[in-house]
């Protein structure tokens, strides 16, 4: 487990019947860039929550002002193509894991959510954003990159069709309030209400039958999850994101 990813538990209801919601907090003290170690730790935390019979939902929350700035640019702007391919594929596995998790996942977007950070939002069942002067979106084209196939696929699944071209091709970023209409977020709340709202959403989802949820998720998302897995496998063998030119 990375020192930058911490897992805690809160009761899933006021009765405190033993059921819990996992709070998965990401805080690297900087931009919350997705390094290989942070991706691994996030997947480990989510896998642990899924394996816990008492855990009925998870909340992924960033640090104040930063949900995630996307992939680690030290890798993405480096000369090691293999490392870049691995990071992109690992990020795809993370987003796919969130989207295909056996328990509901809520994203608590604490601020800026860019590139792979915005893709993480697309994987979550419910996305609660903090109101403020933050940027949300897919800025790859603006910095000389393009999205891998798996990222295009989940973006097409979750984003409003009216906003797809501007979000992907034109690299348009919006503030959190506008990101609701685009499809990156479901609601925006004041900063002091973010945690309570995200936990309340997780508790609401926790009332779903766990086995039925897992079956419904597979039926509803299964085709996309299979296609993403195939596309991620291709990324491991070649560039999924075109490096900055």
Average pLDDT of the segment spanning 92-97:
98
DSSP reduced 3-state for 21: strand
Which CATH entry fits the domain spanning 5-237: 3.30.2350.10, 3.50.50.60, 3.90.226.10, 1.10.10.10?
Answer: 3.90.226.10
The pLDDT score that the predictor gives to residue 1 is 53
Task: Tell whether the model's pLDDT for residue 241 goes beyond 70.
Answer: no
Q: What ranges do the domains of the chain cover?
A: 5-237
| Token pair recorded at residue 4 | 């930058």
pLDDT in tens, 23-61: 999 999 999 999 999 999 999 999 999 999 999 999 999
**What are the backbone dihedrals phi and psi of residue 202, each rounded to the nearest 5 degrees, phi first?**
-65, -40
Enumerate long-range contacts of 84-87, CB under 8 Å, 24 or more apart. 84/239, 84/241, 84/243, 85/235, 85/236, 85/237, 85/238, 85/239, 85/240, 86/36, 86/236, 87/34, 87/35, 87/36, 87/39
Q: Is 162 left (phi over 0), alpha (psi -120 to 50) or beta?
A: alpha
Q: Is 185 helix (H, G, I), strand (E, B) or coil?
A: coil
On average, the pLDDT of the chain sits at 94
Q: What is the Cα–Cα distance from 130 to 185, expressed in whole angstroms?
A: 10
At 129-184, the pLDDT tens digits run: 999 999 999 999 999 999 999 999 999 999 999 999 999 999 999 999 999 999 99
Could you write out the DSSP letters of every residue in 27-69? --SSS--B-HHHHHHHHHHHHHHHH-TTEEEEEEE-BTEEEE-
Yes or no: say if 119 and 155 are a contact pair by the CB < 8 Å rule: yes
Contact yes or no for 109/180 (Cβ under 8 A)? no
pLDDT at 15: 75
């Amino acid at each position: 487990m990375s020192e930058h990813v911490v897992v805690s538990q809160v009761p899933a209801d006021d009765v405190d019947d033993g059921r819990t919601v996992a709070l998965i907090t990401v805080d690297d003290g900087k931009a919350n860039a997705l390094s290989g170690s942070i991706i691994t730790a996030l997947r480990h935390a989510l896998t642990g929550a899924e394996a816990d019979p008492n855990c009925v939902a998870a909340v992924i929350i960033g640090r104040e002002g930063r949900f995630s700035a996307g992939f680690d640019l030290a890798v993405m702007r480096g000369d090691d193509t293999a490392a870049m391919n691995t990071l992109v594929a690992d990020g795809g596995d993370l987003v796919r894991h969130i989207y295909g998790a056996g328990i509901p996942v809520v994203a608590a977007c604490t601020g800026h959510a860019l590139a792979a950070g915005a893709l993480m939002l697309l994987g979550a069942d419910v996305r609660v954003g903090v109101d403020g002067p933050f940027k949300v979106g897919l800025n790859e084209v603006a910095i000389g990159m393009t999205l891998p196939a798996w990222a295009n696929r989940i973006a097409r699944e979750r984003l409003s069709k009216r906003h797809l071209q501007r979000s992907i091709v034109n690299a348009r970023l919006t503030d959190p309030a506008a990101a609701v209409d685009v499809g990156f977020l479901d609601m925006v709340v004041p900063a002091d209400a973010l945690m309570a709202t995200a936990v309340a959403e997780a508790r609401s989802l926790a009332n779903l039958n766990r086995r039925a949820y897992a079956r419904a998720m597979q039926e509803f998302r299964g085709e996309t999850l299979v296609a993403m897995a195939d596309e991620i496998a291709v990324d491991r063998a070649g560039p999924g994101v075109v490096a900055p030119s």
